[in-house]
Each structure stands twice: as structure tokens, then as C-alpha cells.
Structure 1
Amino acid sequence: MSHPGNDTSATVPRAAAWADDGEIPPPAWGRRDRRRIPLPWAFLLVVAALIVGKPLLSPYLTGPALQTWATIFVAICVQALPFLVFGVTLSAAIAAFVPASFWTRALPKRPAVAVPVASMAGAVLPGCECASVPVASGLMSRGVAPSAALAFLLAAPAINPVVMVATAVAFPNEPMMVVARFVASLVVAVLAGWIWLRFGRTDWIRVPKHAHAESKFTAFLAAMRHDLLHAGGFLVVGGMAAATLNVVVPREWLDSVAGIPWLAVLTLALLAVLLSICSEADAFVAASMGGFSPTAKLAFLVVGPMVDLKLIALQIGTFGKAFALRFVPLTFTLAVLVSALMGWVLL
């Protein structure tokens, strides 16, 4: 067995593996190495916090506010979990078993035409935000125009079937929310791709080289395990934030923000960036934000899968800081403006 420091296969990502085509993005591109996370220490800290905090919090555990908070939090997580599991499993299977050559054969050669085609591909091929970055990088390294690869990066986590079904379940009496989310996300992906095609420069984006892939089945299991834990953690954080927003923040404050249309849209758009919730689960969090207009909730749903903290970090690590400094503001601006327009027209 070779020494870990000299084994290049140890740097293969667990996010995607396209055997037969050989090379895939390195591990640091989509997922962090679990060996760097001090899980035992984190577990001990959580246990210690629970032991110390229980005597302090026990008098308040039966309060009506806490019961309301727990009800909202559990409802969000229970509703979202099946879609999260299914979406992560399907995304990992596509990343591991679909060869990269499929994309180069399926996409048109003309970049201007390839952009909308790549965006529409996201409607039939589920992919989480974490996997979309290394997939897009892999496409670029195989000759796909960066504009088309970036359009797919934005569209895949936002308009895939799992996300659309989850949105329909979260908004059972608002079918136009599903239509508005699909149209707005698709428009943003196409516009971002076309703008990058027109104004983007090659020295603004770094296309990393690829390393040889691990086995398909190993990549599938590792990707599914990682994405489920990773996305599940963000779902818990998002559910806690939404429950806290509904219970702790005074209703007058929410009404004052929600009563100003442009401020409500901007507030939920920024909240989507900060919460970084998986796209398979964000609709349930948005639906729980009572008081905000459908247009503001639409902005939350469109911005989240395209611009959040984890995606920004992944894009910087994969394509470079010069790329992220230009692409992130572009995507955020387009997402907010298109959401506001689609909300006004459709909602």
C-alpha cells in the first residue's frame, strides 16, 4: 500500500466519478475531507452543552412559545426529509454513473445555443448545489463552453423535478409558485450564461485539471453519504431559523418588513444566501415564513440554489476568486430582479 502522502488517488473527489471518461475534479472541489472535521470533539462539546444547559432551560421547556417553535421545526424537517433523501440519492447516482462524454455529445457546438440547452438539461437531471460546481468544472475541462457549463450549474439545483415536486407539496394551494420558480430560475440561468458569454474573459476563470476517478459505486456511496449529512445539516439550521423567525421575532417587525415590497424581497433574498439550505428542502422553509408576500418567498427560492455561502466558497476554491467576485454579484442581481418581475407577473 502506498503512503497516503504519495497516493494521488486519495485526492479524488467523492462528489462525482465518471469512469470510462477518466478524469474528474479533485476532492477539494466539492466536498471537504471528513478527516479534517474533529467529530469526536464536536460531539463532546454538544453533550457538555446539553448537560450544562438542561438545568438552566428546564423551567422554560414547557412554555407555549417553545412548543410552537418545536412544532414548526419538526414539521419543516419531516416534510422536507423525504425529498432531501430522494434528491441526494438521484444526484449522487447521476454524478457517479453518467459519463461526462454524454454532455459533450448532447450540447450544441454553438455556445449561444448551448446555454439554453444546458439550462433546460437541469429540468431533467437533478443535482444538488454541492455537486453542481464540480460537474460544471468537469464539463469545461472537456470542451464545453464555460457559459453553457455555468448555466447548467445554476439551473440543475433550481429546476430539477425533485425540487419542483417539493415546491408543489410545500405550496399545495399555490400552483403558480411552482411555475414562477421554474420560469424565474430558468431565465436567470440563461441570462447569466449569455452575459458571461458576451462579457466574460478567459483569465477570469480557472479551469482545474482532473485526476483519475475512483470506482463508480464507491463514488456513489460516498457522494450520497456526504450530501445527505451536509444538506441535512443545513436543513436543520434552516428549520431552526424559520421556527425562530416565527416565534421570537415580534410580529410587528415582520409586518413592517413584509409591508414594504422591495424590502421584503431583498430581506428573504439575503436570508437565502445566509441560510444555505439545500434546494430540495428550501420550499418548506419558505412556506413557513408567514406574513411575507409570495414574491418575497419566490426570491428566497430562486436565490438560494444559485447564491449561498457554501456555493460562494466552492466557486472560489474551484474557479478562483476573480471568477467569484464577478459571477456571484451577477447571479444575485439577476435572481432578485427576475424574481421580482416574475412575482409581479405570475403571482
Structure 2
Amino acid sequence: MDTLPDTAAEPGRRTRRRFRISSVEVLCAILLIAILGQGRLQQLFDVPALRTGSTVFVAVCVQALPFLVLGVLISGAIAAFVPARVLEKVLPRKAGAAVGVAGLAGVALPGCECASVPVARRLMGQGVAPAAALAFLLAAPAVNPVVLVATAVAFPGKPELVLARFAGSLATAMVMGWLWARFGKLEWITERALRRLPEVAAGQRWRVFAETARTDLAEAGGFLVLGALISSALNVLVPAKWFGVLGDQIVLGVVVMAVLAVVLALCSEADAFVAASLTALPLLPKLVFLVVGPAVDVKLFALQAGTFGRSFAVRFAPATFVVAVACAVVAGVLVGVA
């Protein structure tokens, strides 16, 4: 077992640290090898299907990565420099009104899905009504400017899709907040989630910023790569006529894309590029995919169960799924996404 040197006995000797290789270093190494050896790799994998799949994979990653990086930087800044009491001061005391304000606050205080869960917990720990905290949890990763701009870039010339995503996601957050205010019970949330959390010390803010951004990038980057791989596999392995069937049967397409959003668990800054790569699908199922994904997926279910308790997650996640699908379809019909 490794031991650190006794700095008291050896004042002139520095403490040694073990270097750990994380997923970020592995991803950078793979990308560097791919860039330097692209000629050799093209000769080795000179198969039409592989070329198509690799093109889709690289396109999704390259388009989404800048928005993903920007998103995790904003998320880290919020965790380090924006105290939860800022929202507490501006939220109305009445739960119904607080839900609306908290949902709109997601536009000004963006963050990824992973970051919104601890922020919501901190809000509850500082006395904010759970309904408002949960509305912010759902709105922050879905209606912020980074996600909307990424959606506009992924779907050029389709401003109605961006508007429908904003409306459907905001409606999902507010409806779930109001439903919790009406039917939710505090005993469904674990006691530790309601305890007051310590504020970030002034001297630790930059460290918290760096660690939060790095952690979110490692987690979200992994999901982006997984999503890009699945997207490229769908484009190569699944016959185009299958997606044509989903296009002809719009209800089936909506259901399949909603379930796919839950399973893929993509980051909200990157999911639009994956949806855009499925060119054979109509816009409405893609809209459902974009609204459901940031609201409920397997990753979020695990985070919510660990933070607020399983009793909360098994009630909140299924209700969110149904509400998100309904809000997406209604928003798509009203805006004219078809």
C-alpha cells in the first residue's frame, strides 16, 4: 500500500500525489489518435457502412461539443458563485406563483440535468417550497439559452421547433410544480434532502467551479459519445423504411422517441444534434424526444432516487414522463410542428 511521506520529518520533501486517468483524458487520447492516424484508419475501415457511421458519429460530436462545454462552464459557475438564497429572495411565498417564477428562472440560471438536482436540493434545504424547487429542476436544463441555441443550430430554418421545445419544456416544469403543490407530500422526500446545506466558502469558489465543471463534462461527455454511437448505429443498422413506418404512424413515432429519450439519457446541450441526425423521422416525434429527455431519463431517475429518496422518484418520474409527452404534443400542434 502506498504511503505519503512524513512532511513533518522531511520538510524539504514534497508530498507525492498519484495521477489518476479519468474519462476526459481517455477521450482526448482517443481523439488525438484518431486525428493523427485518420489516413491509416480510413484504409483499415474502408467499408461504406463504417464510413457512413463514422461520419454521423463525428458530426454529432463536433457539433454538440462546444455547446456541451459552454453548458458545463455555466453549471459550474452557478454551483460556485450563485447562492441558492438568490432564488429564495425573489420567489413569492405562495406556492402557485413561486412555481411560475422558478420555471422562468431556468432561463436565466441554466444548468445541465445533473447539476439541477443538487441545486433543487439546496433550494429545499433553504426553505424554498418543494413545488418551486422541482419546477426549477425541470426548467433549468431545458429552457436555457444554451439549449435553445444548440437546437437552432441543429435544426437550421426550423424556428418553430425551437419555440415548441421552449413552450413544451416550460409547460412540463410548471405543470409538475403545480401538481406537486396540489398532491405532493413531504414524507415522500427523505429528511436529508430537506436539511440545510452549507454555503460554498469564499476561498473555495474557484475550486468548486473547476471540480463541478470537470465532473459535469466527464459525465455529460460520456453520454454524448454514447448517444453519438447509438445515433450512428441507428443510421447504419436500422433500415430507412423502419423510420418511414414511424413517420407514417405518428402515434407510434411519438411513443418510440419518448422511450428512446428515457433510455439514451443524453445531455440537454447535445440531444438536439442526435435527434437531427435521424433524418427520416418527422419533427413531432423529434420534439417529444427533446422535451422528454431533459425532464426524465434513467440517469435522472437514479440521481433523484439518491438525492430525494426512492419513494419520491417512483412517483415523480412516471408522472413527469406522461406530462412531458402531453406538453410536447400540445406545444407541437399549437406551434405547427408536424
- What's the TM-score, normalizing by structure 2? 0.84
**In the alignment, which residue of structure 1 is the partner of 2:65?**
81
Give me the whole-angstrom Cα distance separating, in 2, the residues matched to 1:75 and 1:58: 16
Say yes or no: does 1:192 pair with 2:176: yes
1:58-73 paired onto structure 2 within 5 Å: 61-73=45-57
Deviations 1:327-346 (A, max 9, x none): 00110000111111222222
The code of the aligned residue for 1:75 comes to: A
CA drift at 1:58: 9.7
**Is residue 107–residue 143 contact of structure 2 (8 Å, CA) maintained in 1?**
yes
Match of 1:310 among 272, 292, 299: 299
- Which moves more between the two structures, 248-257 or 295-304? 248-257
**In the alignment, which residue of structure 2 is the partner of 1:6?**
none
**In the alignment, which residue of structure 2 is the partner of 1:238?**
227
**In the alignment, which residue of structure 1 is the partner of 2:130?**
146
The code of the aligned residue for 1:148 comes to: A
Say yes or no: does 1:219 pair with 2:208: yes
1:17-36 paired onto structure 2 within 5 Å: none
Give me the whole-angstrom Cα distance separating, in 2, the residues matched to 1:58 and 1:82: 26
**Is residue 141–residue 207 contact of structure 1 (8 Å, CA) maintained in 2?**
no
SS at match of 1:138: helix
**In the alignment, which residue of structure 2 is the partner of 1:25?**
none
**In the alignment, which residue of structure 2 is the partner of 1:106?**
90
Structure 1 gaps of 5+ residues are 1-34, 48-56
Distance 1:155 1:62, change over 3 A: same
**In the alignment, which residue of structure 2 is the partner of 1:17?**
none
The code of the aligned residue for 1:265 comes to: V
Which has the greater radius of gyration?
A: 2
**In the alignment, which residue of structure 1 is the partner of 2:185?**
201
**Is residue 122–residue 197 contact of structure 2 (8 Å, CA) maintained in 1?**
no
Match of 1:128 among 100, 108, 112: 112
Give me the whole-angstrom Cα distance separating, in 1, the residues matched to 2:116 and 2:308: 13
Give me the whole-angstrom Cα distance separating, in 2, the residues matched to 1:109 and 1:245: 48
Give me the whole-angstrom Cα distance separating, in 1, the residues matched to 2:258 and 2:79: 29
**In the alignment, which residue of structure 1 is the partner of 2:152?**
168
The code of the aligned residue for 2:285 comes to: A
The code of the aligned residue for 1:170 comes to: A
The code of the aligned residue for 1:245 comes to: L
CA drift at 1:250: 1.2
**In the alignment, which residue of structure 2 is the partner of 1:345?**
334
- Which moves more between the two structures, 233-242 or 257-266? 257-266
**Is residue 60–residue 66 contact of structure 1 (8 Å, CA) maintained in 2?**
no
Give me the whole-angstrom Cα distance separating, in 2, the residues matched to 1:226 and 1:252: 40
Distance 1:205 1:211, change over 3 A: closer
CA drift at 1:223: 0.4
Provide the aligned C-alpha RMSD in A: 2.3
Say yes or no: does 1:249 pair with 2:249: no
Give me the whole-angstrom Cα distance separating, in 1, the residues matched to 2:63 and 2:43: 30
Give me the whole-angstrom Cα distance separating, in 1, the residues matched to 2:186 and 2:265: 29
**Is residue 137–residue 207 contact of structure 1 (8 Å, CA) maintained in 2?**
no
SS at match of 1:279: coil
**In the alignment, which residue of structure 1 is the partner of 2:78?**
94
**In the alignment, which residue of structure 1 is the partner of 2:11?**
none
The percent identity for this pair of structures is: 53
The code of the aligned residue for 1:253 comes to: W
- Which moves more between the two structures, 209-218 or 96-105? 209-218
**Is residue 120–residue 136 contact of structure 2 (8 Å, CA) maintained in 1?**
yes
The code of the aligned residue for 1:233 comes to: G
- Which moves more between the two structures, 334-343 or 75-84? 334-343
**In the alignment, which residue of structure 2 is the partner of 1:336?**
325
**Is residue 114–residue 148 contact of structure 1 (8 Å, CA) maintained in 2?**
yes
Structure 2 gaps of 5+ residues are 1-17, 31-40
Give me the whole-angstrom Cα distance separating, in 1, the residues matched to 2:88 and 2:125: 10
